[in-house]
A = this chain, B = another copy of it.
Amino acid sequence: MRRDIFQAIADPTRRGIVALIALQAMTPNAIAENFNTTRQAVSKHLRILTECELVKQEYQGREIYYSLEIEKMKEIDKWLDQYRKIWENRFNQLDQVLSTLKKQTTK
C-alpha cells in the first residue's frame, strides 16, 4: 500500500483525529463522535495512521484506545529542517541588511 506519513496527514479528517488523540487516548467510537462520518470510516483512517506508525493501539477488554505516536511526528520536522535552513538564512541576510543600514544611519 506504500503508506507514508505525508500521505497520512494529507486528509483533513486524519489531521483532526491526530489532533484529537494527541493529548489523550481515545476509542474509535469516541473519536467518531467528533466527526461527521461513521465509525467505520474513522476505523479506516485509524488503520492508515496505524500502518504508518503515527498512532498506537492499546487493547483494554473489547475497547481499543488509540493515541498519537509523537515520535513519528518528528519525521515531518526532520523533513522541514532543510527548508528551515533556507528561511533562516534569508532572515539572517535581511538581518545583515538591516544592521548595515542601522550603522550607516547612526554614523
Contact = CB atoms under 8 A, between A and B. Distances in A.
A71 to B, nearest CB: 7
Chain copies in the assembled complex: 2
User: What is the predominant secondary structure among interface residues of chain A facing chain B?
Assistant: helix
Contacts of A35: none
Interface size grouping (class) on chain A: 20 to 34
Interface in A48-107: 68, 70-71, 73-74, 76-77, 79-80, 82-84, 86-87, 90
A19 interface: yes
A22 B83 contact: yes
B90 A80 contact: no
Contacts of A1: none
